[in-house]
Amino acid sequence: MGKNQPQNKKREALNIPAGRRVTSYDVARLAGVSQSAVSRCFKPGGSASAKTREKVLAAAKELGWQPNALARGLITQRSNIVAVLISGNVNLYYPEVLFALTHRLSEEKLRVMLFTVDSEDDVDPVLDQISQFQVDAVISASHMRREHAERFEETNTPLVFFNRYFEDRSSDVILCDPEPQTRQLVKRLSDQGHSRFAVVSGPATNMVSRTRLRGVRAAVEAEGGTIITEAPGDFTYESGAAALHRLMECTERPTAIVCANDMMAMGLIDEARTVFRLRVPEDLSVTGFDGIATARLASYDLTTIRQPIGRMCDAAVAVLREQLDRPERTYEKRVFEGLLIDGATIGPVPDVY
Amino acid sequence: MGKNQPQNKKREALNIPAGRRVTSYDVARLAGVSQSAVSRCFKPGGSASAKTREKVLAAAKELGWQPNALARGLITQRSNIVAVLISGNVNLYYPEVLFALTHRLSEEKLRVMLFTVDSEDDVDPVLDQISQFQVDAVISASHMRREHAERFEETNTPLVFFNRYFEDRSSDVILCDPEPQTRQLVKRLSDQGHSRFAVVSGPATNMVSRTRLRGVRAAVEAEGGTIITEAPGDFTYESGAAALHRLMECTERPTAIVCANDMMAMGLIDEARTVFRLRVPEDLSVTGFDGIATARLASYDLTTIRQPIGRMCDAAVAVLREQLDRPERTYEKRVFEGLLIDGATIGPVPDVY
DNA sequence: AGCAGTTTTGCATTCGAATGCAATTTACAG
DNA sequence: CTGTAAATTGCATTCGAATGCAAAACTGCT
């Protein structure tokens, strides 16, 4: 009762059978105009007199009608849906990006269809879905192989990479290049007397990780320090903790550990404190990358390099908009600098050394 | 070059103008069958001989064709899209729910259209979008007023509430009722000698918060303790920190603080440690609610009550599936128990008291 | 009132797949 | 080889809004 039969006197007056959806024809009948007129009233800049518009809007409101986006998409070849591909793993960086992107896209009247991609093997089925739904564009902040990216070219679907890219492939890319801040960061450590560094990197196949690693190496070299050892992680908290164990086995221990992201830095710090009874930063200096919200919490107060996620998402959406409006446009790579966050996880080299 | 004109010999053979999309008719032509046959081959259980099916699948693959979900949705009245409404705020509980839901829904061949809702004022435009996209169902884990929920009834769109509900309104609801665990938790505190409690609650308008609060009051009473004071927060980290200041002003200080969610507990703990120089749990016991991943990190190791998010999301999707398949079905409320997580943020009452 | 120029309007078609129905083919029993 | 039942196929229509085109309705001006 009241559950299945939406009641509405106007519906009955027009004798629209219950169960049938209200269409623009119904609105047209009620307003006493043609279906085309209704359509035009709902199209920004559509040709319609003030009087017609008024009647139509009133009728639409009366019937609770909204244009059917599927039908519209079918005819206009625009779905207004953007697929966002995000890693579903526990790196808290992704939710931040996702929410920021969603917010920006909704300002552009674009809807987000969310896909979580936890490994490259997940990508193919996702791409099928994407093509079925006639998605207008794709923003990818997750795993993807070159051949996956190529599938988008076949269907002419704009693809914007978010902090990922293939070196030899042209496509739109939004990047954060934290090189200058990496130098600052390493210099700051160096100024505090550190010269024996360790690096906890990400997966060797990951471009972002490789770039960060390269930046760290260059910076350390420039400061005259040494990278004693490099332990690879996989960007998770657990892998940061695990990396510390490997680092502690070195005969000559590092005094400063640079991690390729915040999650690993947090894992490493927790492991240092709880398992090795080391104080951070008194006994050990640790830094991260990303500047995620959790790393800012007082328990960590991580010294890190923040990505300007908000501005990067703005850029991603702007680039995407451009692609949609001017498809003959060439690809663009927008690179943002990071921001050094002065936390409380680095300090002077301990005396014992 | 190579950017705008997808090349494909087969396309040319069928002389499909570049720019036009491949349709089921094209596939039909290539396979030498009718369009209906193509359609049937892609419909599970559709009537088609093995030979036809083979030809059609080959042709489809050749042309890279996938059924157009918009056109399909138009005719079948099923979009296979589910709207998920999530609070975009910094409570890390939401991303966990979102990713879990997305995962479950994709197993049901349902796509997630994501909407972030940060206040009740955001809801109306979101509802417009939802109705335009002919979304099959809605899962709401965010703000919503009663009149909003009623709009879904008008369009007969199934609505599943996730950890929210209106008392007097029938609709599907997935809930976590942590009452039994709340008793356990309070008993555990009581056994450690605590009798003076404080509560950091959520917004007074929030049902979840009110229920939790009620549970805590009952449990404390049952244990013969007293709730010295209640400070309201808004579920954010910052509000937890702020609440502590108010609690510290009490002449008679509480020895155990029960927070209505983990984020506030974490904020409160950090504030206690950094600003008030209190040790947790030695000087002060603190508990949370939700059991989010961040609260499990070693720096917090929060004693809390975990919501079985995975099972709850399973249930949400199951209920939704039921609604879609049998619309005459009545509403259902599925209630899950929490799980007491033994962290390291509660301990015996300190001696000084 | 009459005319050219501009807006507004409606008609008819289109987007791409699904499906009821009737025609056709196939399978099988006798 | 025939007859009948069952499986397969194609035809034609449908979903709901957008739009090119031509007709109609205004506008302003003489």
Q: Which helix (H) or strand (E) holds B39?
A: helix B35-41
**How sure is the predictor about A5, in pLDDT bands with cuts at 50, 70 and 90?**
very low
Give tens-digit pLDDT for A33-56.
999 999 999 998 888 888 999 999
Give tens-digit pLDDT for A162-196.
998 877 667 899 999 999 999 999 999 999 999 99
Q: What pLDDT was estimated at residue B128?
A: 92
Q: Which helix (H) or strand (E) holds B81?
A: strand B81-86
Number of H helices, E strands in chain B: 14, 12
User: Rounded to 5 degrees, what are φ and ψ at A177?
Assistant: -110, 105
**How sure is the predictor about A352, in pLDDT bands with cuts at 50, 70 and 90?**
low
Interface of B with A in 142-201 (CB under 8 A): 153-156
Which of A74, A133, A152, A273 is the mutation pick for testing B, counting most B CBs within 10 A? A133
Q: How many CB atoms lie within 10 A of CB B159?
A: 23
Q: Which residue type, as a one-letter code, is found at position A341? A: I
Report in angstroms the alpha-carbon separations of B211 from B147, B164, B170: 22, 11, 18
List residues bridging with A259 in a β-sheet.
A200
List of E strands, A146-264: 159-162, 172-177, 196-201, 226-232, 256-259
What is the pLDDT averaged over residues B118-147?
91
Given an 8 Å threshold on Cβ–Cβ distance, is A129 in contact with B111?
Answer: yes
Chain B CA closest to residue A79: B70
The C-alpha atoms of residue A265 and residue A284 are separated, in whole angstroms, by 12
Selection from B290, B112, B297 nearest residue A292 by Cα: B297
Q: What pLDDT was estimated at residue B16?
A: 80
Q: How many CB atoms lie within 10 A of CB B125?
A: 12
Predicted TM-score of the model (pTM): 0.93
The C-alpha atoms of residue A189 and residue A340 are separated, in whole angstroms, by 13
Give tens-digit pLDDT for A40-97.
999 988 888 889 999 999 999 999 999 999 999 999 999 999 999 999 887 899 999 9
Q: How many CB atoms lie within 10 A of CB B217?
A: 17
Distance from the Cα of B241 to chain A's closest Cα (Å) equals 10
Angle at which helix A93-107 crosses helix A309-325, to 10 degrees, equals 40
Residue B156 reports pLDDT greater than 50: yes
Chain B CA closest to residue A151: B64
Question: Is B64 at the interface with chain A, CB within 8 A?
Answer: yes
The one-character DSSP state at B45 is T
Which of B7, B87, B114, B278 is the mutation pick for testing A, counting most A CBs within 10 A? B114
Give tens-digit pLDDT for B167-188.
766 789 999 999 999 999 999 9
Sheet holding B196-201: strands in order across?
B226-232, B196-201, B256-259, B285-287
Residue-averaged pLDDT of chain B:
91
Distance from the Cα of B223 to chain A's closest Cα (Å) equals 32
Distance from the Cα of B66 to chain A's closest Cα (Å) equals 6
Q: How many CB atoms lie within 10 A of CB A52?
A: 18
Interface of B with A in 236-275 (CB under 8 A): 237, 266-267, 269-271, 273-274
Q: Does the CB of A35 fall within 7 Å of any strand C atom?
A: yes
**How sure is the predictor about A7, in pLDDT bands with cuts at 50, 70 and 90?**
low
Give tens-digit pLDDT for A182-191.
999 999 999 9
Q: What pLDDT was estimated at residue B282?
A: 95
**β-bridge pairing B81-86 and B137-141:** parallel
Given an 8 Å threshold on Cβ–Cβ distance, is A299 in contact with B270?
Answer: yes
Give tens-digit pLDDT for B27-36.
999 999 999 9
Residue B316 reports pLDDT greater than 90: yes
Which nucleotide, over all strands, has the C1' atom closest to the CA of A20? D15
Give tens-digit pLDDT for B215-268.
999 999 999 999 999 999 999 999 999 999 999 988 888 999 999 999 999 999
What is the pLDDT averaged over residues B42-68?
91
- Residue B159, classed as helix, strand or coil, is strand
Residue B68 is nearest to which of A6, A134, A274, comparing CB atoms?
Answer: A134
Q: Which residue type, as a one-letter code, is found at position B287? A: T
Q: Which residue has the tokens 């138009």?
A: B74
Chain A CA closest to residue B22: A155
Q: Sketch out chain B's domains with CATH numbers.
A: 9-67 (1.10.260.40), 77-176+309-337 (3.40.50.2300), 179-307 (3.40.50.2300)
Residue B341 reports pLDDT greater than 80: yes
Q: What pLDDT was estimated at residue B191?
A: 95
A85 Rama sector, left if φ>0, alpha if ψ -120 to 50, beta otherwise: beta
Q: Return the exposure string of B92-104: e unless at least 16 CB atoms fall within 10 Å of the residue's CB, then b.
A: bbbbbbbbbbbbb
Q: Chain B contacts of A3, Cβ < 8 Å? A: 153, 328, 330
Residue A154 is nearest to which of B64, B71, B116, comparing CB atoms?
Answer: B64
Strand D bases, protein C-beta under 7 A = 7-12, 14-20
Contacts A–B by Cβ distance under 8 A: 147
| Range of weakest confidence among A118-122, A317-321, B289-293, B316-320 | A118-122
Give tens-digit pLDDT for A244-284.
999 998 888 899 999 999 999 999 999 999 999 999 999 99
Given an 8 Å threshold on Cβ–Cβ distance, is A297 in contact with B6?
Answer: no
B20 Rama sector, left if φ>0, alpha if ψ -120 to 50, beta otherwise: beta
What is the pLDDT averaged over residues A293-311?
96
Cβ < 7 Å from strand C, B residues 244-303: none
Which nucleotide, over all strands, has the C1' atom closest to the CA of B37? D9
Question: Is B108 at the interface with chain A, CB within 8 A?
Answer: no
Contact A263, A235 (CB under 8 A): yes
Which nucleotide, over all strands, has the C1' atom closest to the CA of B74? D15
Residue B48 reports pLDDT greater than 50: yes
Given an 8 Å threshold on Cβ–Cβ distance, is B92 in contact with A294?
Answer: yes
Mention every residue, 6+ apart, whose C-beta is less than 8 A from residue B163. B141, B174, B175, B176, B208, B307, B312
Which of B159, B262, B299 is the mutation pick for testing A, counting most A CBs within 10 A? B299
Q: Does the CB of B47 fall within 7 Å of any strand C atom?
A: no
Q: Does the CB of B73 fall within 7 Å of any strand C atom?
A: no
Chain B CA closest to residue A159: B3
Q: Which residues touch strand D (CB under 7 A)?
A: A 20-21, 23-25, 35-36, 39-40, 42-43, 65, 67-68, 71-72, 74-76; B 33-37, 40, 47-52, 71, 74-75, 77
Residue-averaged pLDDT of chain A:
91
Which nucleotide, over all strands, has the C1' atom closest to the CA of B70? C16
Q: What pLDDT was estimated at residue B168?
A: 65
Residue B44 reports pLDDT greater than 90: no
Question: Is A134 at the interface with chain B, CB within 8 A?
Answer: yes
The C-alpha atoms of residue A291 and residue B201 are separated, in whole angstroms, by 29
What is the pLDDT averaged over residues B328-349?
92
